[in-house]
Chain A
Amino acid sequence: MKKTSNRQVWFNIAVIAAAYVLVTILLKGNLLNRQYTSLLVPIAVNIMLAVSLNLVTGFLGELTLGHAGFMSIGAYTGALISLNLGKTEVLPAPAAFALALLCGGLMAAVFGFLIGVPVLRLRGDYLAIVTLAFGEIIKSVINSMEITNGARGLSKIPLYSNYTNYTVVFFLMVLTVLAVTNLMKSRDGRAIMAIRDNDIAAESIGIKISHFKVKAFVIAAFFAGVAGVIYAHNVGLLKPGTFDYNKSIEILVIVVLGGMGSIRGSIIAAIILTVLPELLRGTDNLRMLLYAIVLIAMMIFNNSKIKEGLMMNRTFRKLGRKEA
């Protein structure tokens, strides 16, 4: 029992180190053209977004369609801090970025709390639609506020987290993934999954449902906010339209394709779905179609007899257990 968990830890460390070395070699050896270099940070951002959404949708079992809203709150908060403190050299760049990350995450978490508490009374379809509504409200409020520069958006945000600073971005991504993975293997994580599997039973063994639902919302919002800060300091400009319903769906597609409740799946799917559109360049419209088909096909497949048949098969059952 103990041995396997130790081996798992070493394996994870080896994978993380290998990934870091690979990225370093690719970058320092100039093995990537500009197009692919520019994908490195978006991959990390998407991994963070997908892993955090997975916490709510895969582990807690509630669909939220406003994840891009949390991302935008983080992005705008972080960008405003960098523009007002970092760029004017009130603070040195690393300190400004650290502050931006922290405040972006916290601000998103505060909104996660504000949204999480009232929507606790809702579930399923209603919750999904209310989170969608919140996402749109956030968008239109940002759009009409002066400090966010309305529809014109913010520009000339210092590029603290573009590919030249990939070490920082990589570190933050690993931190996010580890935090969520560890959380799910802990007391709180079990409570969250128990609520997903059977909320009435979870309550009957002394788990406060509202507490853990809000907690999951807040944690997910925090990491989405941090991802937003990284996004803002990679592209350098923000427009409210970027964080619409379609962005939320894009993150959802990653989670669904990777498998709900599978962090490893989310990571792999995030890499594939960030690189793939780049490979199919110029076919942006096809990408949307592909997303749509992925969503429908995955759902029908997951609930079909074919999957049941595969699960009955011994080798697949073993694989399935490992995943869990």
Chain B
Amino acid sequence: MLTSIMEQLINGLRTGSIYALIALGYTMVYGIAKMINFAHGDIIMVGAYTLYIGIALLHLPVLPAMLLTAVVCSVLGMLIEKIAYKPLRKAPPLAVLITAIGMSYFLQSVALLIFSSTPIPFKSVIEVEGIQVGTVNISGITIVTLAVTTVIMVGLTLFINRTKAGSAMRAVSEDRGAAELMGINVNRTISMTFAIGSALAAVAGILYICQYQSLRPTLGALPGIKAFVAAVLGGIGSVPGAMLGGIMLGLIESLSKAYISTELADAIVFGVLVVVLLVRPSGLLGKKKLVKV
């Protein structure tokens, strides 16, 4: 019994770390551009397909293929912002939201046209031996996922708090107009945010695909939405909140799948979102905003 609970917790931690990586992208973009980038989940899908192209079609070694994935996703993220979101900076939020949904749909349908809806099997590129702690088995991919996520989170926190580019990001998210007046290049900061967020999504995509080993054009949608739930849970706009929310969501999901019902696990996850938003609309670590009249 204890072993099974431990295993579920570790599973949850692994899925949760992936959610946290994706949630970071949502939260950073929301902080800077004040919009929900609906297409963020589909960047994961693009990342997964890029890795597949790199490894299976171009026969690249693992590391260059991963690098290619990160670069492609970053460039794509920046392009999406430039083409679709930048013209709408002054538009009503509803218009931006609909555009983002359109962008998500666009990426999915392009993938559908190129790769068709038949799932493509994909063998994990992460070949690390699992370990045995007492009676609990920890798979190699879990170890890698946890290690990679920890490194990224520490790195990102340092980047945001200790570097000049990071403080520019914080400034733009606080007050775009004032940041511009202080000589910060707002366009470049926004581009950079999209690039970093998309690179994180690429990493998440690699880890996700090595876990599930099957490619579909819609594979990014569900983890995307769940990561969004995680970002909201933690308080959107808050970086530590995204990490906390991701891990919590992973644990909730894994435990409800194991002990309540597989079919209802998604419903439970979304139920958590609804409850959190109703009880604490700004999330666990989010700041409350006052509307000025």
Contact = CB atoms under 8 A, between A and B. Distances in A.
Q: Which 3 A-B residue pairings sit nearest by Cβ, starting from the closest? A: A295-B102, A292-B106, A133-B270
Given A296-B102, A303-B87, A304-B87, A285 B270 contact: no
B97 interface: yes
Interface string A286-316: 1011011111100110111000000000000
Given A130-B277, A256-B98, A292 B293 contact: no
21 contacts: A121-B281, A129-B36, A129-B232, A130-B277, A133-B225, A133-B270, A134-B274, A136-B270, A137-B270, A140-B266, A144-B263, A144-B264, A289-B110, A291-B102, A292-B105, A293-B106, A296-B103, A296-B106, A300-B87, A302-B91, A303-B91
A63 B108 CA distance: 21
B266 A299 contact: no
Contact of B36 (A118, A121, A122, A125): A125
A285 B113 contact: yes
A200 interface: yes
A22 B110 CA distance: 38
Given A140-B266, A295-B105, 17 more contacts: A65-B101, A124-B93, A125-B35, A125-B97, A129-B229, A129-B232, A133-B270, A141-B267, A249-B105, A252-B98, A288-B108, A289-B113, A291-B105, A291-B109, A294-B102, A300-B87, A303-B88
A290 B215 CA distance: 23
Contact of A118 (B102, B261, B270, B274): B274
Indicate the size class of the contact surface on chain B: 35 or more
Interface string A127-156: 011101110110011011000000000000
A126 interface: yes
B93 A126 contact: no
B152 interface: no
Contacts of A252: 98, 101
A132 B232 contact: no
A249 B88 contact: no
A129 B281 contact: no
B268 to A, nearest CB: 9
Interface string A104-126: 00000000000000100110111
Interface of B is mostly: helix
A61 interface: yes
A126 B98 contact: no
Given A249-B105, A299-B102, A63 B94 contact: yes
Interface string A180-215: 000000000000000000001000000000000000
Nearest to B105: A292
A106 B93 CA distance: 32
A299 B91 contact: yes
B112 interface: yes
Contacts of A288: 105, 108-109, 112
